[in-house]
């Protein structure tokens, strides 16, 4: 069993500075089990805790683990330059969790602005490292549309390994399955910069459309484009399990 004071609960979940969290309680904007939270220093059990802030119901989480369906025309940057940031798709508390210079959830790896699909976000540094470390080989599945027709030799080369311009060591796909004249499903266990686009360029083709459909065992299922949801505890365990 774990307990926190109400003011610390709100602060840890990203509802502002401690002064702001105190103000939310004093103004009667925080409720629990249908009753106003009146004492900011009162202790509350955080296991399976749900509370309401300004009419919106929130779960308490020690760490945030999220799934986001990234739309095209968005950047995976906190300070986007040319396109809207993916972080604008998230509620403010998720962007402020923990406070400090590195506040909020962070994308576990990035997708290009024109790439759509599955993103995982978290404020758990160990979890982020686990998923991004090349030592752990977490598979990521991409649905690729190409400019030119695909042929068997290109698929074979992608699996055998191709040399990218900045790395003399061949980079190979874990799997490559042609699904149409201009489409394939590509599974990677590495995360190099613009890797899919550069691999297709290395076999004399070009990526026209790119969608990440799966990370580990996680899929988007019916999550709409631009929407997000919490990962379940089982999903967190599955995606971070050793492969």
Query: Catalytic amino acids?
Result: 112
Q: How far apart are CA 28 and CA 42, in angstroms?
A: 15
Determine if residue 107 is left, alpha or beta; phi over 0 gives left, psi from -120 to 50 gives alpha, anything else beta. beta
Q: How far apart are CA 184 and CA 166, in angstroms?
A: 25
Take residue 164 and report the two structure tokens written for it: 């990218």
Q: How far apart are CA 104 and CA 98, in angstroms?
A: 7
Take residue 83 and report the two structure tokens written for it: 């396109």
**What letter does residue 89 receive in the DSSP assignment?**
G
Contacts 24+ apart (CB under 8 A), 23-32: 24/53, 24/54, 29/53, 29/54, 30/6
User: Three-state SS string across 123-191, please?
Assistant: CCHHHHHHHHCCCCCCCEEEEEEECCCCCHHHHHHHHHCEEECCEEEEECCCEEEEEECCEEEEEECCC
Q: How far apart are CA 142 and CA 140, in angstroms?
A: 7
Contacts of 83 (CB under 8 A, 6+ apart): 73, 74, 75, 113
């Amino acid at each position: 069993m774990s307990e926190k004071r109400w003011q610390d609960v709100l602060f840890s979940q990203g509802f502002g500075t401690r002064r702001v969290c105190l103000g939310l309680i004093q103004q009667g904007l925080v409720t629990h089990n249908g009753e106003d939270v009146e004492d900011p220093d009162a202790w509350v059990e955080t296991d399976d805790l749900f509370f309401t802030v300004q009419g919106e119901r929130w779960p308490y989480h020690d760490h945030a683990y999220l799934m986001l369906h990234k739309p095209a025309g968005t950047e995976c940057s906190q300070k986007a330059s040319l396109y809207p940031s993916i972080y604008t798709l998230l509620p403010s508390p998720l962007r402020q969790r923990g406070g400090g210079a590195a506040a909020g959830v962070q994308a576990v790896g990035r997708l290009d602005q024109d790439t759509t699909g599955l993103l995982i976000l978290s404020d758990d540094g160990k979890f982020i490292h686990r998923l991004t470390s090349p030592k752990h080989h977490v598979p990521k599945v991409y649905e690729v549309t190409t400019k030119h027709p695909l042929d068997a030799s290109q698929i074979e080369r992608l699996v055998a390994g191709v040399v990218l311009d900045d790395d003399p060591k061949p980079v190979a796909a874990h799997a490559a399955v042609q699904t149409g004249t201009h489409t394939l499903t590509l599974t990677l266990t590495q995360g190099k910069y613009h890797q899919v686009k550069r691999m297709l360029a290395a076999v004399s083709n070009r990526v026209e459309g790119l969608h990440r459909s799966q990370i580990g065992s996680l899929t988007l299922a019916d999550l709409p484009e631009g929407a997000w949801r919490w990962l379940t505890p089982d999903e967190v365990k599955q995606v971070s399990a050793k492969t």
